[in-house]
Each structure stands twice: as structure tokens, then as C-alpha cells.
Structure 1
């Protein structure tokens, strides 16, 4: 039985709490949120102790692992504190919005044997996972191209935009990680284009609502990511891999599998699942199970701190491409240069 403490009692924290409490391989021992009423409400709902200060969590020897689901600016500090207290940590993405802070965090935890897993949940989606497994097994021969489509159902509110750190670091960062996962090798060049096409709130604050990123690996494999902050048909999440012997595609999910046929047309299906918690419900559960497996078996993390670091480096390289209007060579070794 793995004993968790949860830091963060917002929307995503509430989902993680429910998953932990419902699982027979783990327990939820503590909840902490900087907004005390939120942690108290979630503690009451789950029957979990509420910490008034995160020190209570890190000082408790009975806690095996810390699930960090708090606001992004706190992630790096809680990762360091978890490592220093000898507790495994599963942390929501991103590690931080500032690569300098990520590099500082990396130095502080360097050499630690503590399990650190970053919450890039798309890797654990059954469809995406099976596609990547097929690529690795040679089902489509030599991989040549990866295409990722990721479109939100509707734009976020202004307050979210102001805290998110930019679309490429907030939304697209999932796709940068998924691209690395599917390609199986590092991206070396990035060329990015962004626009504000429809969202007046984003336009008001100088944010984007649409993006297309082209990426190339050293061996010549290509990847295309397309993003939008709206899609009238729901949460659009697709992954495609094309190779010398064929293609694999992981498609969207609908609430039901019913298809409709009538005088107006055929093969009509429900709109896609509306948002990320519904669409990636199975992925979040699998993410938790893989973390527990890794912890119990003493294996290396399947989604490491370095994976989180490299996804942010790709986001920053994409912003540089937008600013310069040129393709950018990705510098993983010295990202502050």
C-alpha cells in the first residue's frame, strides 16, 4: 500500500484525489492547498487529514509519495522538498515556466535516487500508447512522419491565460512530450508559426489561439503539431504515425459508439468528449498505476524530470522561431544561452 500526500486541491487535484482514494493499491494520507477552504472541502469529501503547512507532509515518515497538483510556480520547489525528504514524487506538468528555475531545480536534485515522474498523461492513453508500441515493433516499417492534432473545445478565461505562461508552454508542452515519445529520438530543429484568429480575450492580452509547429530529428524524421484553442465538435486529440510500410492512427473518443444513418448522411457519431479529464480518464488512471509499479519495483522513471525539462526547451525553441521567423536549432545542453 503506497501512502500518498496530495498538494493542490483544485480541479485537477480533486480528480487525482478521487483516483487515489478509489485505488486498492494506495491510500491518501494528507491533503494540502494554500487555499485552506479548498483543502478542507476535499479532505472532508475523501476522509483525509488536512495539512495546515506542507511541512506536516514532508516531516511525516509515513508518507511514501507526494502528488504535486498545485499551481505551476510551486512545482519545482515541491519536487526539491520531496526529494530532500526521501519521498517519491508525481508532479503535474510543467516543472516550471522558467527554464532557469528548471535548471536550478535539476542541480538541486542531481544524483538523487528518488523516483520523480512528470505528469505527461498522454503517454498513458491506451490508443496513443498502442500506436507508439506499434511503431517500436516495426508495424509500419521505418517511421517517417508523426502528426499531432490537439484542439481545445473552447478558449480559457482571461485569468487562466494570465497565469498559463503562454500557449506553447501550457497547452503545446503536452504535444512536445508526445512528439518525443512517438518519434523515439530527439528533435534537433523547430520551426513554429502562431496566430490569433478568433479569441478576442487572447488578442486583448497579446496571446495566441492557434499554432503550427514543424520539427525535425537528426535522422530526418518529421513531426507536425497543430493546435487551436477551439473546436466546435469537442476536445480534438489525435495522433498519427506514417512509415515505409503503412500508417497508425489514434483517434478521438466519443461518449458512445453509436453511429447514425438517415437521409441526411451516414456514420454520424457523437461529438468528442468535451474536455481533458473526460478524454484522458483512462490515461490518468494508468499514469498512477505505472508510478506505483515503478516505485514498488525500484525502476527508473518512465517519464523523468529530464523529459519535463526537454519539453520546456522545445517550447522555448518554438517561441524563438516565432520571434525570429526562422528555424531554430534546439540546444538541450545549454538552454539558457
Structure 2
């Protein structure tokens, strides 16, 4: 039984706390948060105790930590936990700054401890089935990937201001999913972004509507479409066009009832947001982490994967700002010197 410390008791921390508690091979023993009351409430709900992050990391009886704190704390906590010989699952992104994330990657490499990054969409059943079908050659050679990811409504402006921008906060999931499905990173990133949903988002220096086009060394193309507003629900679709056909992972709907009459065909809307849509993926993600730690096998989403997605987010941010396509190697040059 793995003894787990949870760092962060906000909305996503609450999701992870349930997954930890529900798993037969893990138990939540401690929770920390900058808001002591939030940590105490979540700890009490799961039979754990509220402690500081420092105490949790220093406790030799705790086997692993799950980091669900604000992004600007991730790298420091990853380094501290791995130095204390703990396995880590950290929510995305690794950091808001690529240089800091790469430095963290170097620091962790010397500890030999497993670090998994929380890109839960890799564990979505539909996306996983699509990936397996691509790998097995069911549509021949994949040539064009299309990812649609629309939120039902924008987040609070207070969150937008500290999020690192749409490409680091929202699109980063899609960057990782593209890397996962295509089995490689692109060589060129071109992005456009505007703020058409809420003028306050533009005033905060961010965009709420974006399209990213990525090209690969073998000529393949991936297109990502993002919006902070889809009034009909949480729109999450993936398509892969190959030399022998098309694969589609469609939306998960509120129910599977379809009414067909002379007036038309009506079905339910997509589920409202990520908690409803991706709860099975969060549980599968945690199971994969527990399995890797207990068996000593490699984690399925590595710190290197997290850095790769962050590099693409940096490239997209730069391209959207300048209007010029960006080569991924240009993004990594400054940190290679």
C-alpha cells in the first residue's frame, strides 16, 4: 500500500484525493495547501491529516507525493520531493518557464526517482483507442491530425492573469496529446490567437481563441483548435486522417438518447466540463502511476514529455505574438548553450 501526500487542496487536488482514496493500492495520509482550512477539510474527508508541504516531503514514511499546487511552485516541489527519495505525480505544466523546467529535469535525473506529469487525456478511453488504432496501422500512414478543444466558458480573469497564457494553460494538453498520437514532436509551430470571447482576457495580455498548425519532419500536419467558449458544452474531439481511412474520437455526451422525427434528429449535448468528461481518465492516470511505482516500471508520461509540451507552448506563444512560424529547435537553443 503506497502512502501518499497530496500537495494542493483546490479543485484539481480534490479530484486527485478521491482517486487516491478509491485505489486499492494507495492511501491518502497527508494534505497540504497554502489555505490551511482547505487542507484540513480535504484531509478530514479522506481520513488524512493536514500538514505543511515541507513536512510531507521530509516524512520518510510517505512514499510518493501528488503535486496539485499553483504552477509556479511545481519545479521547486518536484526537486524537493525527488531529492527526498519520493516518487512524484505533478499536474501540468511542469513550469511556466521553459528554462526552469529544463533545469528541473536535469536536477531530477540525478535522483533516479520517477516523475510523472499529469496529462490525463492520454488515459481517456476514446483517445487511447484512437492511439492504438493508429499504431496498429488501421488507417495506414497517419497524415493529418485534428484536435478540437473548446471550454464551455472562460475561467475567472484572476486565473487568466496567473495561468501563463492559453497556450501554456489550455493548449498544452493538446500539445501533449498530439505528441502522444503522432509518436513524435513537430519541427515547426505556427499559431494565431485573438480575444473574441471576453475583452478582459485581452486586457490581461492573453487570448481566448486560437489555432495552432504543426508540421513534422516527414510531412505530417497537426492542427489544434481552441476556444474558451462553446455554449453547448465541453467540446473534445480528435480526428486522424490516414492513407487508408479516418479515425475519430467523438464527444462524450450527457446521455445516449437520440430522438429522430420528421423534424430532424436530436441528441444530448456534450458533458459540461472536464470533471464530468475526464473522471475516468483521472482514475486511470492514477492507476498507471501506482502500477509504475509498485513495479519499478517506467511512468507512462515522463518529465521529458512535460518539457516537450511546454516547449511547444512557448513556440506557439512566440508565433502568435510575431505572426511568424517558429522552429522548435529555436526554442531550445537558449537553454542548450
The answer (yes or no) to whether the contact 1:313–1:335 under 8 Å persists in 2 is no
**1:155-205: CA deviation from partner (whole Å, max 9, x where unpaired):** 111111111110000000000000111111121001111111221221332
- Is the partner of 2:4 in helix, strand or coil? strand
Task: Give the deviation of 1:327 after TM superposition.
Answer: 1.3
Give the Cα–Cα distance (whole angstroms) in 2 for the partners of residues 241 and 112 of structure 1: 38
Give the Cα–Cα distance (whole angstroms) in 2 for the partners of residues 105 and 222 of structure 1: 31
- Is the partner of 2:154 in helix, strand or coil? coil
Give the Cα–Cα distance (whole angstroms) in 2 for the partners of residues 265 and 164 of structure 1: 42
Q: Which runs of 4+ in 1 moved over 4 A?
A: none
Aligned to 1:46: 46
**1:15-72: CA deviation from partner (whole Å, max 9, x where unpaired):** 1111111221110011111110100111121111110x22221222211110001111
Aligned to 1:16: 16
**1:103-151: CA deviation from partner (whole Å, max 9, x where unpaired):** 2212221233211100000100000011001000000101101100000
Further displaced range: 152-161 or 99-108: 99-108
Aligned to 1:205: 204
Give the Cα–Cα distance (whole angstroms) in 2 for the partners of residues 200 and 32 of structure 1: 36
Aligned to 2:168: 169
Aligned to 1:244: 243
1:137-286 aligned at under 5 Å gives the runs 137-266=136-265, 268-286=266-284
Please, which runs of 5 or more residues in structure 2 have no aligned partner?
A: none
Give the Cα–Cα distance (whole angstroms) in 2 for the partners of residues 107 and 185 of structure 1: 21
Give the Cα–Cα distance (whole angstroms) in 1 for the partners of residues 322 and 22 of structure 2: 49
Aligned to 2:296: 298
1:305-320 aligned at under 5 Å gives the runs 305-320=303-318
Task: Give the deviation of 1:100 after TM superposition.
Answer: 1.9
TM-score after normalising by structure 2 = 0.97
**Pairs aligned (count):** 335
Give the Cα–Cα distance (whole angstroms) in 1 for the partners of residues 275 and 143 of structure 2: 31
Aligned to 1:323: 321
The answer (yes or no) to whether the contact 1:195–1:210 under 8 Å persists in 2 is yes
Task: Give the deviation of 1:249 after TM superposition.
Answer: 0.7
Aligned to 1:4: 4
1:17-32 aligned at under 5 Å gives the runs 17-32=17-32
The answer (yes or no) to whether the contact 2:29–2:47 under 8 Å persists in 1 is no
TM-score after normalising by structure 1 = 0.97
Task: Give the deviation of 1:333 after TM superposition.
Answer: 4.5
Please, which runs of 5 or more residues in structure 1 have no aligned partner?
A: none
Give the Cα–Cα distance (whole angstroms) in 2 for the partners of residues 158 and 200 of structure 1: 10
Give the Cα–Cα distance (whole angstroms) in 1 for the partners of residues 223 and 334 of structure 2: 22
- Is the partner of 1:5 in helix, strand or coil? strand
- Is the partner of 1:334 in helix, strand or coil? helix
The answer (yes or no) to whether the contact 2:197–2:228 under 8 Å persists in 1 is no
1:58-207 aligned at under 5 Å gives the runs 58-207=57-206
Give the Cα–Cα distance (whole angstroms) in 2 for the partners of residues 304 and 225 of structure 1: 22
Task: Give the deviation of 1:91 after TM superposition.
Answer: 0.3
Give the Cα–Cα distance (whole angstroms) in 2 for the partners of residues 27 and 143 of structure 1: 41
| Cα separation, partners in 2 of 1:315 and 1:335, compared to 1, 3 Å | farther
Further displaced range: 95-104 or 220-229: 95-104
Give the Cα–Cα distance (whole angstroms) in 2 for the partners of residues 319 and 333 of structure 1: 14
